[in-house]
Structure 1
Amino acid sequence: MQNKIMYTSVMNIVDDELFGSNERNRVRNTGVFLLDASKKKNTLFFVGKCGGEVRVELTINFEQVSNGDVKVKESAKLFEGISTDTNDLDGTASKSTTIKKNTSKTITFRVRNTAEGGDYADITLQVRNTSIAADDCKNSIKAKAQELGTGFTGSPRTAIDRPVSVRNGKMVGFQKCDIYCSPQTGPHEIHGAIRQKYNAVGGPDNALGLPATDETTTPDGKGKFNHFTGNGSVYWHPTTGPKLVRGGIRGTWARTGWERGQYGYPTSDEIRIDPDKSEWFSDFQNGVIYWANNKSIAPYTAGLDGAKVRGLFEKIFKEKAASQKDLNIESVRIASVSDTGYHFTRSKNRTVTFKISGNYESGVFFIPNPSYTITLKIAFESDTHPNGKVACKLSARLAHWHIHTSGVGHDSLLKGLKKAVLEGFSRPFELGEVPQNSGLLSFKVQQDGGIKLYFTGNTTGRIVALVAQEKLKDL
């Protein structure tokens, strides 16, 4: 059952003046929303100001009752001081009532300044409570569209009075969103990149089923998600793109804290390794969840931490700059590590930015040596997306560079450094190859700038991870 709530709230505020005429203001708010099994309560909050001294804060709580009635409680606070930003609370009032299903009601009460002066606000709330049966998807979708507003939905692309039948429910498509409904879920919208992902994997014909929530902001405030009836979700983040996560992998992710836990956001859809085996994995910003034999199994790994990657890069840079014989390298450090990169299918790896600084021996003892700072952004990549089966070539390439020089004679230094960087990093640096069917699931840059390879949690994955670790040590 859904309750369609149409409301109009009016605050008539009076700022009582000792001298001259009283000042008055009228604040009106109106809207529509739904209460259903997924949202049994709703809270509205309005603020009205008057005369430069009076502020009224109104909170209205609605709660759905099982028989279709709705409980309403209004609470008002009146503040009065030298400005409308005051925290001087001078009066409170509240009123509660129940609105029967399919009826309208007008509720009035007054909040007064009980501490000083004759300031007050007369508050009027008009509510229409329309009960919509759980199986009445036509009116549920219409009410949902009215709640969202045409600015959100755009124009309907299918007849709103004749919802399209889909697997286990109904749907009306709009320019900017789709609204799905079933007796079990009620009406829910999907839009944007999540809508694109949902449609790309088959929409309601996919194992995801119908949306069980509207698009919702994640608890960390950075991403969005829709949950679906088929034990699955689509999560979106501005540096990952929309990704599907479901089943046991989703359960493991949930138990570790969702996006705020150790794994971060998903960076791939759920990937099935072998169609003949119950073996899947999902890639995440900070790890991999591998599922086999109906349980989550820790993947085997090989890698280098950030300090070792920094040392490896210093070794590579010195080899590339060997032609600059009088170049002094004072420091090589990891300046920053980017976030993952947006992609619809498989999020891009983090990039690592290195800074190299030093000076150049000018050969003139009484003139300070010219100095330099080189910024190199390095992308660590696999030529194909690992999926547990394909062969992969792993490499590091120069994605962006910047050189700053200063001091007497720095122009020639700049010219030489540009030549060394552009020639030395013209080709990617090969990190190694992983043969076909070696169980490689992911090649990932860690938050500290380290690199890690994830392999299946079986015998093959364990052996290949050991071999890969030895090869990384030899780089």
Structure 2
Amino acid sequence: MQSKIQYVSTMKIVDHENFGSNERRTVRNSGLFLLDAGKKTNNLFFIGRCGGEVRIELKIKFTQNSNGSVSVKEYAKLFEGSSTNTSDLDGTASKSAVIAANQTKTVSFRVRNTDEGDDYADITLLITNTVLADGDCTNGIKAKAQTLGTGFTGAATSNINAPTTVKGGKRVTFQKCDIYCSPKTGPQEIHGAIRLKYNNVGGPNNALALPVTDETTTPDTKGRFNHFSGNGSIYWHPTTGPKLVRGAIRHEWAKTGWERGIYGYPTSDEIKIDPNKNTWFSDFQNGVIIWNNNAEENPNTAKLSGRKVRSLFETIFKEKTKGQKDLNVDSVRISSVGNTGYDFTRSKNRKVTFKIKGDYESGIFFIPNPSYTITLRIAFESNKNPDGKVACKLTAKLDHWHIHTSGAGNSKLLAGLKKGILEGFKDALELGDVPKNTGFLSFKVMKDGGIKLYFRGDILGKVVAGVAQDKLDKL
């Protein structure tokens, strides 16, 4: 059952003056929203100011009841002082009412200055509670579109008076969003990149079925999501892109705390590993979840810690610049690790930035050696998206560089370093090849700058992960 609530809130504020005429102001707010099983309450908050001294704060709470009526509670505060930003609370008042189904009602009350002066505000709330019949998707979609407003939806691109029949329900498409409806889900909107992903995987014909929420901000406030009736969700983050997660994998992810848990956001859609078996996995920012038949399967891994990656890179840098015999390397450190990169299909790996400092022995004992600071950002990549079946080549390539030099003779040092870096890092560094059909699922840069390879949790995955670990240790 849905209740379409239309309201007009009016505050007639009087700032009483001991000398001269009272100052008066009318503040009016109006709107429309829906209440249903997914959202039984709605809270509104309005502020009115008058005369440079009086401020009214009004809170209104609407609650849908099981019989279709709506309970309304209003609470008003009157502040009066030297400005309308005062914190001097001088009066409060409240009012409650019940609006029956398909009824229009006016609720009025006054809040007074009970401390000093005769300031007051007369508050009137005109409410219409229209109950939409269960399964009335035509009016439900219309009401949802009205609630969102044309600035959000854009113009309708299909007939809003005769919604299109889709699998499981009805749909009206708009320039900026789509609204789906069924008797069980009610009208729900879907837009942006999540809308593109949903349509890309088949829309309501996919196992996701119909949306059961509007697009909603995630609890960590950084991403967006829609939940769907087919036990699935699409999550979006600015550094991952829209990703589909569903079924048992979604359930396991939810148990860890969704996007705020150890796995972070999904970085792939759910991927089937074996076409002949019920074996799936989803990639996440900080790990992999595998579901094999009726149980979670723990992946096998091979890894290098951030400390070992830093040490390896120092060795590589010295090798690439060994042509400059008098170059001293004082320090090499990981200065930052980026976030995952946006992609519609499979999010990009984190990038690691190294900072190298040192100097160059000029041979002139009475002049300090010129010094340098080099910043190199390295992208760790797989030439194909691992899925347990394809062969992959793993590389690390220069993504960005910057050199700063100082001291006498630094221009010569700069030219030599630039040549050494551009020549030494012009080709990607080969980290190794992973053969096909080895259960290789993910190549990941971790938050500390380390790298980690994920394999199936079976015997083959264990063997291949062991071989991969031996090769990493010998890099």
TM, length-normalised to structure 2: 0.99
1:367 matched residue in structure 2: 367
Following superposition, the deviation at residue 20 of structure 1 comes to 2.2
In 2, the alpha carbon distance for the partners of 1:120 and 1:460 equals 78
In 2, the alpha carbon distance for the partners of 1:299 and 1:474 equals 23
1:273 matched residue in structure 2: 273
In 1, the alpha carbon distance for the partners of 2:352 and 2:216 equals 32
Residues 366-400 of structure 1 show CA distances to partners (whole Å, capped at 9, x for unaligned) of 11111111000000000100001111110100001
Following superposition, the deviation at residue 84 of structure 1 comes to 1.6
What is the 5 A alignment of 1:403-418?
A: 403-418=403-418
In 2, the alpha carbon distance for the partners of 1:19 and 1:467 equals 91
What is the 5 A alignment of 1:238-257?
A: 238-257=238-257
In 2, the alpha carbon distance for the partners of 1:238 and 1:142 equals 31
Identity %: 71
1:386 matched residue in structure 2: 386
In 2, the alpha carbon distance for the partners of 1:39 and 1:297 equals 37
1:296 matched residue in structure 2: 296
2:13 matched residue in structure 1: 13
Following superposition, the deviation at residue 116 of structure 1 comes to 1.5
Following superposition, the deviation at residue 22 of structure 1 comes to 1.6
Residues 429-457 of structure 1 show CA distances to partners (whole Å, capped at 9, x for unaligned) of 11111111111110000001000001111
Following superposition, the deviation at residue 79 of structure 1 comes to 1.2
Following superposition, the deviation at residue 19 of structure 1 comes to 2.1
In 1, the alpha carbon distance for the partners of 2:278 and 2:111 equals 64
Following superposition, the deviation at residue 38 of structure 1 comes to 0.5
In 1, the alpha carbon distance for the partners of 2:349 and 2:14 equals 60
What one-letter code is carried by the residue in structure 2 that aligns with 1:289? I
Secondary structure of 1:252's match?
A: helix
In 1, the alpha carbon distance for the partners of 2:113 and 2:368 equals 75
In 2, the alpha carbon distance for the partners of 1:77 and 1:57 equals 5
Stretches of structure 1 lacking an aligned partner (at least 5 in a row): none
2:330 matched residue in structure 1: 330
In 1, the alpha carbon distance for the partners of 2:244 and 2:293 equals 21
In 2, the alpha carbon distance for the partners of 1:449 and 1:25 equals 60
1:320 matched residue in structure 2: 320
Segments ≥4 residues shifted beyond 4 Å: none
1:426 matched residue in structure 2: 426
Q: Which moved more, 1:393-402 or 1:46-55?
A: 46-55
1:81 matched residue in structure 2: 81
Secondary structure of 1:251's match?
A: helix
Residues 284-338 of structure 1 show CA distances to partners (whole Å, capped at 9, x for unaligned) of 0011111112111211111011111000100100000100100010110001000
Q: Which moved more, 1:223-232 or 1:21-30?
A: 21-30
Following superposition, the deviation at residue 71 of structure 1 comes to 0.6
Whether 1:68 aligns to 2:68 is yes
1:473 matched residue in structure 2: 473
In 1, the alpha carbon distance for the partners of 2:24 and 2:460 equals 78
Give the aligned length: 475
In 1, the alpha carbon distance for the partners of 2:473 and 2:390 equals 24
1:158 matched residue in structure 2: 158
Secondary structure of 1:186's match?
A: coil
Residues 48-70 of structure 1 show CA distances to partners (whole Å, capped at 9, x for unaligned) of 11122211110110011111111
In 1, the alpha carbon distance for the partners of 2:252 and 2:24 equals 58
Stretches of structure 2 lacking an aligned partner (at least 5 in a row): none
What one-letter code is carried by the residue in structure 1 that aligns with 2:236? W
TM, length-normalised to structure 1: 0.99
In 2, the alpha carbon distance for the partners of 1:226 and 1:237 equals 12
1:194 matched residue in structure 2: 194
Following superposition, the deviation at residue 39 of structure 1 comes to 0.5
Residues 348-370 of structure 1 show CA distances to partners (whole Å, capped at 9, x for unaligned) of 00000000011100110111111
Secondary structure of 2:238's match?
A: coil
What is the 5 A alignment of 1:149-228?
A: 149-228=149-228
What is the 5 A alignment of 1:331-350?
A: 331-350=331-350
